[in-house]
Amino acid sequence: AQSVAQPEDQVNVAEGNPLTVKCTYSVSGNPYLFWYVQYPNRGLQFLLKYITGDNLVKGSYGFEAEFNKSQTSFHLKKPSALVSDSALYFCAVRDAYNTDKLIFGTGTRLQVFP
């Protein structure tokens, strides 16, 4: 079965420090991986995706993610966190058989403290 795991319910980081939000996946075939962010009472905003190519993907708002095939991971990173980055982050993978269906993790709440 295809799945996404976000092992941390919450990540706390001080403003200005680097942040990492973890994601691991299990899929058949080549993975198409996505990160979305959700602010309170809002829909999901697309941050970045990995389809193929460079393992380091750069996205919106200074975020990047590193694809690691051997560890089946796709961790979201940012060199210097902002208070305004505080939100709920979702990792998702495209279903290999249901190709436009996204399978989401349970989300990680990022709290950036001033």
Partner 1 sequence: DAGVTQSPTHLIKTRGQQVTLRCSPKSGHDTVSWYQQALGQGPQFIFQYYEEEERQRGNFPDRFSGHQFPNYSSELNVNALLLGDSALYLCASCTRGQGETQYFGPGTRLLVL
Q: Which residues bind partner 1 (CB under 8 A)?
A: 4, 32, 34, 36, 41-46, 49, 51, 90, 92, 94-95, 98-107
Q: Nearer Cβ to partner 1, position 17 or 26?
A: 26
Strands (E), 1-114: 3-5, 10-14, 19-21, 24-26, 33-38, 44-50, 56-58, 64-68, 73-78, 87-94, 102-104, 108-113
Q: Nearer Cβ to partner 1, position 36 or 67?
A: 36
Q: Nearer Cβ to partner 1, position 17 or 46?
A: 46
**What is the amino acid identity at position 9?**
D
How near is the Cβ of 51 to partner 1 at its closest, in Å?
5
Q: What is residue 110's three-state secondary structure?
A: strand
How near is the Cβ of 19 to partner 1 at its closest, in Å?
20
From the list 112, 32, 33, the residue with the least C-alpha distance to 78 is 112
How near is the Cβ of 108 to partner 1 at its closest, in Å?
10
